[in-house]
Amino acid sequence: MSKALLKTGRPIFFSLCEWGVEDPSTWGPGVGNSLRATGDIADNWERMTKRVDKNDKWASYAGPGGWNNPDMLEVGNGGMTTEEYRSHFSIWALAKAPLILGCDIRSMDLDTHQILSNSEVIAVNQDKLGVQGKKVKKDGDLERLWAHTTEAKVKEQISADLDPHACKMYIIIQK
């Protein structure tokens, strides 16, 4: 199928979806652009974070032209808090996952619109290096610490206090 699509000469985004059963992240780059690495998501914190953890397993296989896809975004569907949706969108952006909306855009509220249109978070997703963020630490009070490679480097310490399920994204800009 991918060869036939390439022969059309048109730009096409080809999504491979077999729910991660056959580990498409290992064989899908070069065949499809979106590699469905997990089962179906649901609009709740637990299911979303399970998709995140499964998607993280395949981070080293992803890159420009072949992106791991932990499923569509549930932001705005009503099953999570605003902070949980903000975390959901931020993790998808950091993972370089396709930002495919699963909500009805005709009826989204202001919080949902602000989350989904955050240009700084979208820029993280569209970073030109295309390196999928990875979980780098999980211990004690620190639930999840994620990082991804950019051209900028940090020499000092960065920290934040967060409420449960909230997130803080630092965008480091090289001067």
Domain borders along the chain are: 2-147
Average pLDDT over residues 150-163: 62
pLDDT digits (tens, 9 = 90+) for 79-90: 999 999 999 999
C-alpha count within 13 angstroms, C-beta hemisphere, residue 101: 13
SS3 (DSSP) at 99: coil
Prediction pTM value = 0.83
109-141, pLDDT tens digit by residue?
999 999 999 999 999 899 888 889 888 766 555
What is the rounded CA–CA span in Å between residue 53 and residue 38?
9
pLDDT for position 159: 64
Q: How many CB atoms lie within 10 A of CB 5?
A: 15
Q: Which fold has domain 2-147?
A: TIM Barrel (3.20.20)
- Tell me the residue type at 63: G
Note the pLDDT of residue 142.
47
